[in-house]
Structure 1
Amino acid sequence: MIEVNNLHKSFGEAHILKGVTTDFEKGKTNLIIGQSGSGKTVFLKCLLGLFTPDEGYICYNGDIYNDLSADQKRNLRQEMGMVFQGSALFDSLTVEGNVMFPLEMFTKQSKSEMQDRVNTVLKRVNLIDAHHKYPSEISGGMQKRVAIARAIVMNPKYLFCDEPNSGLDPKTAILIDNLIQEITQEYDITTIINTHDMNSVMEIGEKILFLKNGHKEWEGTNKEIFKTDNVAVTDFVYSSELFKKVRQMYIEERN
């Protein structure tokens, strides 16, 4: 579980995060949504320890990050997996090499132990025969699955995903959403996803945090978001005709 209390972050005169307080439960897919410039990326980087908050604190399973020693912070970071927006695979490494990279960098496992772990996670993301292919030889959806395999290869307690569906067709995006949710539940991970994809909100939004101008404007589930009367949320969610129709269906059912 991750607890966030009164988080503030500024860059010069630009006050980006303005007292955000929330929590993210393990075993659930926690989504962060909001318009561009709402503070989502800065918030995610604070959670990853890449930015230091000016005020407030972040607590990981009971441990306040700022109170940890340098060694404890380093150990905590090794418990974090990250899926980047563009997958961020190494073009010069095979699929197997990309997934094995964190094990080679941060563990003292034997070659056979690393190989067994790589085989396990590649099988889990349904990439059984892609070990020796390079990123340029596989599809965007397969690249994303490699990125997920690499993110979970060290059995992280926390999984962070930045726009995991970016550049994918709708069908593949749903497959990636479902895969992330399945892995979250199977491994009881605290998963946090930055997204603009409202299909992701509908499909896997077990907890949704809506940021606006650096503030927590709203939070709830994917069922509750279609019932809220918060104007900022409804303006964001129902910017398309499809979601306007979905909201109307919820209103009619409620009445």
Structure 2
Amino acid sequence: MIEVNDIHKSFGDTHILKGISTVLEKGKTNLIIGQSGSGKTVFIKCLLGLFTPDKGTISLDGKIYSQLSAREQRNLRQDMGMVFQGSALFDSMTVEGNVMFPLEMFTNQSRSEMQDRANIVLERVNLVDAHKKYPSEISGGMQKRVAIARAIVMNPKYLFCDEPNSGLDPRTAIIIDNLIQEITKEFDITTVINTHDMNSVMEIGEKIVFLKHGIKEWEGTKDEIFKTDNEAVTNFVYSSELFKKVRQMYIEERN
């Protein structure tokens, strides 16, 4: 679980985060949504420890990050897995090499132990015949699954995903969403997903935090988002005719 208490972050005279407080729950997919410029990227970088809030605290399972020593912070970062927007795979490494990279960096495991662990996570993301291929030889959806495998190879307590469906077709995006949710529950991870994809919100939004101009405008679940009267949320989520129709159907079913 990640507890965020009244965090603020500014760059020069620009106040980006303005007193955000929320709880990101363990074993659930926690989605951060909002328009470009809402503060989502700065928020997730604060959670990762890449930015230090000017005010407020971030607590990971009871440990306040800013109060930890440099060594303790470094150890805690090893409990964090990250899926980057563009997958961020190393082109010169095979799929297996990409997945083994964190193990080579942060463990003293033997080559065979690392390969065994890589095999386990690649099988978990349904990639069993791609070990010796290079990123350029596999599809975008497969690259994303490799990125997920690499993110979970160290058995993280926290999984952060930045626009995991970026560049994927709708069908593949749903597969990736479902995979992330399955892994979250299977390993009881605190998963935080930064997304613009409303399909993801409706599919796996167990906890949704909506940011607007650096403020937490609303939070709730994928079911509650249908019922909210918050104008900023409805304008963002139902900007397309499709989701307007989905919401109307939901309301009619409840009446």
The TM-score, its normalising length taken from structure 2, stands at 0.99
The separation in 2 between residues aligned to 1:217 and 1:19, in whole angstroms, is 11
2:226 counterpart residue number = 226
Cα distance, 1:95 vs structure 2: 0.1
Matches within 5 A, 1:6-17: 6-17=6-17
2:203 counterpart residue number = 203
2:171 aligned counterpart, secondary structure: helix
1:99 aligned counterpart, secondary structure: helix
2:79 counterpart residue number = 79
1:215 counterpart residue number = 215
Cα distance, 1:251 vs structure 2: 1.8
Matched, 1:128 2:128: yes
1:40-75 per-residue CA deviation (whole Å, 9 max, x = no partner) reads 000000000000000000000001001101110000
The separation in 1 between residues aligned to 2:118 and 2:86, in whole angstroms, is 21
The separation in 1 between residues aligned to 2:225 and 2:148, in whole angstroms, is 27
1:101-150 per-residue CA deviation (whole Å, 9 max, x = no partner) reads 00000001111111110000000000000000000000000000000000
2:211 aligned counterpart, secondary structure: strand
Cα distance, 1:82 vs structure 2: 0.2
Amino acid at match of 2:158: Y
Structure 2, unmatched stretches of 5+, are none
1:17-43 per-residue CA deviation (whole Å, 9 max, x = no partner) reads 000000111110000000000000000
1:51 counterpart residue number = 51
2:241 counterpart residue number = 241
Amino acid at match of 1:25: E
Matched, 1:157 2:166: no
Displacement over 6 Å in runs of 4+: none
Cα RMSD, aligned residues only: 0.5
The separation in 1 between residues aligned to 2:127 and 2:251, in whole angstroms, is 42
Amino acid at match of 1:74: R
The separation in 2 between residues aligned to 1:154 and 1:183, in whole angstroms, is 13
The separation in 2 between residues aligned to 1:158 and 1:10, in whole angstroms, is 25
1:129-181 per-residue CA deviation (whole Å, 9 max, x = no partner) reads 00000000000000000000000000000000000000000000000000000
The separation in 2 between residues aligned to 1:199 and 1:23, in whole angstroms, is 23
The separation in 2 between residues aligned to 1:174 and 1:71, in whole angstroms, is 38
The separation in 2 between residues aligned to 1:10 and 1:125, in whole angstroms, is 38
Amino acid at match of 1:108: N
The separation in 1 between residues aligned to 2:59 and 2:140, in whole angstroms, is 35
Matched, 1:174 2:174: yes
Matched, 1:109 2:109: yes
1:160 aligned counterpart, secondary structure: strand
Cα distance, 1:90 vs structure 2: 0.2
The separation in 2 between residues aligned to 1:46 and 1:147, in whole angstroms, is 21
Matches within 5 A, 1:27-42: 27-42=27-42
Amino acid at match of 2:37: G
The separation in 2 between residues aligned to 1:112 and 1:201, in whole angstroms, is 40
1:22 aligned counterpart, secondary structure: strand
The separation in 1 between residues aligned to 2:182 and 2:28, in whole angstroms, is 10
The separation in 2 between residues aligned to 1:118 and 1:10, in whole angstroms, is 40
The TM-score, its normalising length taken from structure 1, stands at 0.99
1:191 aligned counterpart, secondary structure: strand
Structure 1, unmatched stretches of 5+, are none
2:85 aligned counterpart, secondary structure: coil
2:70 counterpart residue number = 70
The separation in 2 between residues aligned to 1:211 and 1:224, in whole angstroms, is 16
The separation in 2 between residues aligned to 1:77 and 1:201, in whole angstroms, is 27
1:131 aligned counterpart, secondary structure: coil
Amino acid at match of 1:173: A
2:138 counterpart residue number = 138
How many residues end up aligned between the 2 structures?
255
